[in-house]
Amino acid sequence: MAQLDATKWVNDYGDMLYRYAYPRVNDKEVAKDLVQDTFLAAWRNHDNFKGEISEKNWLFTILKNKIIDHYRKASTRLTEGLPDNTDDTYFDDAGHWAKQAGPNDWGTGLSETVERKEFYEILDKCRKKLKDIQSAVFTMKYLDGLDSEAICKELNITASNFWVLVHRAKLQLRACLERNWTTK
For residue 61, the model assigns a pLDDT of 92
Domain assignment present for 26: yes
CATH number of the domain within which 118 lies: 1.10.10.10
CATH number of the domain within which 36 lies: 1.10.1740
Q: Would you say 109 and 56 are in contact if contact means Cβ atoms under 8 Å apart? A: no
d(CA 131, CA 84): 16
User: In terms of Cα–Cα distance, which of 176, 95, 109, 164 is closest to 134?
Assistant: 164
Q: Which domain holds residue 40?
A: 6-79
How confident is residue 33, by pLDDT bands cut at 50, 70 and 90?
Answer: very high
Among 54-58, 66-70, 113-117, which stretch is predicted with the lowest mean pLDDT?
113-117
Domain assignment present for 147: yes
User: Hey, how many other C-beta atoms are within 10 angstroms of the C-beta on 63?
Assistant: 25
For residue range 94-116, what is the model confidence (pLDDT) as tens digits? 666 666 666 665 554 555 655 67
Q: Would you say 17 and 62 are in contact if contact means Cβ atoms under 8 Å apart? A: no
